[in-house]
Structure 1
Amino acid sequence: MKAIVYEATGPSSVLTLRDRPLTDPGQGEVRVRLVVSGVNPTDWKSRAGSGSKNLDAPKVPNQDGAGVIDQVGPGVAGFNPGDRVWLWDVAWAGSEGTAQEYVVVPASKAVALPDPESFDTGASLGIPALTAHRALTSNEDGPARLSPGALAGRTVLVTGGAGAVGHAAIQLARWAGATVITTVSGDRKAELARRAGAGKVINYRTDDVARAVREVAPTGVDTIVDVNAPANIEADLDLLKPGGTIAIYAASPGESLTVPIRESMTRNVRYQFILTYTVTDEQKQHAVAAVTQALAAGALRVGEEHGLPLTRFPLEQTPAAHDAVERGTVGKVLIDVAPAA
């Protein structure tokens, strides 16, 4: 089978296309024929490392993907060859990611993909949707699992609503009944956020953000899903309702955050830092279950018409796909691993 492999961290040029033998699934595992692999910022950051460093074993990049179960290992119930699935956290704490034609994973990391949904959608869920779910359930008195009506009466502010996590947060929050406000940096991104379902879209470069938010939420917002906390912290504190939560899920290597302590104390603010790989098992199970329910309801969609443009590369151009994500390409970067049929 064809696979993208790297043996040392570094620039995207460390990624090479190779032939590798197929591996059979073991106890509790399934083998999936990948159709589409999704690329996230953590994929290129993991590959880049903190400089050139040889790895103990060759590694296949990328956490997210979607495809068809090819073989079922002993002890696996509920799956059969030919079932369509989406995958999550595939490469975490291991060496096998989704940038290859076949991957063996624990059956728990494969989730049924409804027939009406595309493999593109499946490959776009994983990190973005599970991160968004944790952010939206991080409020102290909020639900542990999203469902229709779970956020009714609440207001959520999503900064960077045109990004993959922001897009998922808008869609999940709207599905759960929240009033959704988002900030973006330009007209095109504003249109994408509207297509995702945001009720109020604010261009932070031209609009008075505080005034625009207060028009929707006079007493403040309940939760802020923040892509750039160091830049937004003062505005966040001004716009947050007392007892509210700032959920922080993104950072550059070595980046730090200066927290205004007195202002945070006065508002009894909760700061929730999020790395989806290391949330508790219960939180992850809630997230997977909620995303599955939202997906079945048609609430999680991708593509330009749904506010998340797709940029595609063939498997052999995985280095270019990583570079595209590192450059901040708007929307979702996908890798076409193999034909759907």
Structure 2
Amino acid sequence: MKAAYIEETGPPQNIQYGDLPQPSPGPGQVLIKVAAAAINPVDTYIRNGANYWPLPQPFIIGCDAAGEVVEVGEGASRFQPGDRVWTTNQGLMGRQGVFAEYAAVDEDWVYAIPDGVDAETAAANALVGVTAHLGLSGRARLAENETLFLHGGSGGVGSMVLQMAKAVGARVMTTAGSEEKMAVCRELGADLVVNYKTDDVDAALQQFAPGGVNVFWETQREPNFEQIVSRMAERGRIVLMAGRDARPVFPVGPFYVKELSLLGVVMFKATAEEMRVSAEQMNAWMAAGKLRPQIGARMPLAEAAAAHQLQEENTLHQAGTLTGKIVLTP
């Protein structure tokens, strides 16, 4: 089978595209014929050498894919050949990735694709959607009529947070860096969108939520906690999902006096059951048309190296040439 893989970590040019043996499903696994795969920033970190666990050799890159079950391993009972499915959390924790024509995946990390939803949508929603749901529902417990502020509502995770917050009936203010991205946020339902490059975000936030926000979802790597805490409502929740090496100043006094909570969310640390809960809710929203991915580029799997380069330029270097996810097709 064709696959995108590396034999040693390093720059995007280390990604090879070629033939590898087609896997067979082991006990508790299903073999998926991949129809679409999606890139996440974490894929580029792992490929570049930020490895928190040993990698298989050769290592097939990629966390997210969708397709059709073609074979079922011993003991696997949740799916049958012909079922349309999506998966995430692959290429992590020492597991092989899914950027290939076929992928053998533990059925605990596999979910049905709802009727009327295509493979591209399921793949592009996968990791970012699970991350958003784990943070909003599992950690922050966002409720109807609460107010949420979100940095970057047109990005991969950001667009999921925005749509999920609206799906539960929250008021949402978000930021974007261009008119195009602001339009995307409005289309996804944001109540207020502010251009962080030209507008006074703090002043707009104060006007939008004079009593403070209930949930502050931070996507930036270097949070300004002085500003964040000052804009929180009593017993508000701050969600962090980035900034592994960040060491910002933290206003302890104002934080605890408001009885705030600071919550971290790391998708790949969720249990299979926690992720299944997220997947089931995502499936319901996808079937109802309430959870749509922002796909910024479509490329063939053979161009995985170029796709990683594009992702890295935008994630690490803020090139601004990508709005949403990159989807690859074998």
Tell me the distance in 2 between the aligned counterparts of 1:176 and 1:120.
24
How far 1:330 sits from its partner (Å)?
A: 2.0
Cα offset, 1:229, TM superposition: 5.3
Amino acid across the alignment from 2:312: E
CA gap 1:32/1:277 in 2 versus in 1, 3 angstroms: same
Which residue is 2:167 aligned to? 175
Aligned counterpart, 2:48 = 48
For the structure 1 residues 295 and 67, does the alpha-carbon distance in structure 2 shift closer, same or farther, using more than 3 Å as the test? same
Partner residue, 1:2: 2
Counterparts of 1:257-296 in structure 2, within 5 Å, are 257-296=248-287
Write the mapping of 1:200-239 to structure 2, written as runs, cut at 5 A. 200-228=192-220, 230-239=222-231
Task: Please give the per-residue CA displacement for 1:87-106, whole angstroms capped at 9, x wherever unaligned.
Answer: 11011113421110000001
In structure 1, how many angstroms separate the alpha carbons of the residues matched to 2:160 and 2:21?
Answer: 36
Q: Which residue of 1 aligns with 2:239?
A: 247
Contact 1:60 1:95 in 2 (8 A): no
8 Å Cα contact 1:28/1:76 also seen in 2:
yes
Distance 1:280 1:73, change over 3 A: closer
Question: What per-residue deviation string (whole Å, max 9, x for no partner) do you get for residues 32-55 of structure 1?
Answer: 00111100000000100159xx96
- Which residue pairs with 1:321 in the alignment? 307
Cα distance in 2 between the residues matched to 1:126 and 1:182: 22
Q: Which amino acid aligns with 2:289?
A: G
Pick from 308, 320, 323: which aligns with 1:330? 323
Q: Distance in 1 between matches of 2:212 and 2:134?
A: 21
Give the ranges of 4+ consecutive aligned residues of structure 1 lying more than 3 Å apart after TM superposition: 280-283
1:74 maps to 74
Distance 1:34 1:205, change over 3 A: same
**Structure 1: runs of 5+ lacking an equivalent:** 144-150, 303-307
Residue 224 of structure 2 contacts residue 248 of structure 2 at CA under 8 Å; is this kept in 1?
no
* In structure 2, distance between residues paired with 1:79 and 1:286: 17
1:295-316 superposed Cα distances (whole Å, 9 cap, x missing partner): 22221113xxxxx243022111
1:81-92 → structure 2 map (5 Å cutoff) = 81-92=81-92
**Is the contact made by 1:138 and 1:272 (CA closer than 8 Å) also made in structure 2?**
no
Q: Structure 2, unaligned stretches of length 5 or more?
A: 315-321
Distance 2:10 2:249 in 1: 30
Residues 132 and 168 of structure 1 are in contact (CA less than 8 Å); yes or no, is this contact kept in structure 2? yes
Q: Which amino acid aligns with 1:321?
A: A
Instruction: Give the secondary structure class of the aligned counterpart of 2:7.
Output: strand
- Once the two structures are TM-superposed, the CA of residue 215 in structure 1 deviates from its matched residue by 3.2
How many residue pairs get aligned? The number is: 321
Indicate if the aligned counterparts of 1:39 and 1:64 stay in contact, CA closer than 8 A. Answer: yes
Evaluate the alpha carbon distance shift between residue 283 and residue 241 of structure 1 in structure 2; reply closer, same or farther with a 3 A threshold: farther
Could you tell me how far apart the structure 2 residues matched to 1:99 and 1:229 are?
27
The amino acid of 2:311's aligned partner reads V
Give the CA RMSD over aligned residues.
2.0
| Alpha-carbon distance in 1 for matches of 2:83, 2:259 | 47
**Contact in 2 for aligned 1:138/1:245 (Cα 8 Å):** no
SS at match of 1:222: strand
Give the SS at the match of 2:4: strand
* Corresponding position: 1:114 with 2:138: no
Further displaced range: 328-337 or 164-173? 328-337
SS of the equivalent of 2:236 reads: strand
Task: Give the drift of 1:220.
Answer: 0.9
Q: Is 1:68–1:83's contact at 8 Å kept on the other side of the alignment?
A: yes
CA contact 2:55–2:95 (8 Å) conserved in 1: no
SS of 2:222's equivalent in the other structure is helix
* Structure 1 residues 309 and 26: CA distance shift in structure 2, 3 A: closer
Cα drift, residue 212 of structure 1: 2.1
Question: Normalization by structure 1: what TM-score?
Answer: 0.88
Q: Matched residue of 2:8: which SS? A: strand
